[in-house]
Amino acid sequence: MKLRLATLALCAVATTAATSTAFAQQGPKPEDQIRYRQSIMNVMGRQFGMLAGMAKGDVPYNKDAAVKAAGLVDTLSTLPGPLFGPGLDKGAPTKASEKVWSEPEKFKAAYEKMQAEVKKLPAAAGDLATLKAAAGEVGKTCKGCHDDYREKEFRN
């Protein structure tokens, strides 16, 4: 009897440990991760779009707004990297090409190129002439990756 109780207690401990480990490893579901990465790209796209508009003269230049948007793009650009990791190629409709997962090194290089240019944005945004130059360089890196790794249509 004593032995049985001890065994039961041990089983309970083991079950609890297994459950919590599984939970810790699971994290957010792939579909949530995919939606999260798209949300970040969307906010980054909106903020960068405003800067590109100012650079082109479509939107009146405003120093405070430009510096704020540049800081946001800089911060947001650090987030999507891990959201293109293993297992996040499907689970929700996505425009990310399967090449992201078949050429991870090249994709990473495109991502790092973007980050290197985006880092220069906050300092450049304080003046229209420097913003024009910096936004042009950033825009090339966004487009470069989208041309290679973003599909026109959503896939599952």
Q: Which residues bind ligand HEC (CB under 6 A)?
A: 34, 37-38, 41-42, 44-45, 48, 73, 94-96, 100, 107, 110-111, 114, 118, 138, 141-142, 145-146, 149-150
Residue 144 β-bridge partners: none
CB-CB contact of 145 with 114 (8 Å)? yes
The closest alpha carbon to 83, from 42, 48, 40, belongs to 40
CB nearer ligand HEC, residue 91 or residue 128: 91
Residue sitting closest to ligand HEC (CB): 45
For residue 100, give Cα distances in angstroms to 36, 40, 151.
17, 17, 11
CA distance 85 to 127: 37
The distance of closest approach from Cβ of residue 100 to ligand HEC in the complex, given in angstroms and rounded to an integer, is 6
CB nearer ligand HEC, residue 8 or residue 29: 29
The distance of closest approach from Cβ of residue 16 to ligand HEC in the complex, given in angstroms and rounded to an integer, is 36
Across the chain, the runs of DSSP E, i.e. the strands, are 94-96, 150-155
Structure tokens at 76: 């947001």
CB nearer ligand HEC, residue 4 or residue 87: 87
The distance of closest approach from Cβ of residue 93 to ligand HEC in the complex, given in angstroms and rounded to an integer, is 8
CB nearer ligand HEC, residue 5 or residue 86: 86
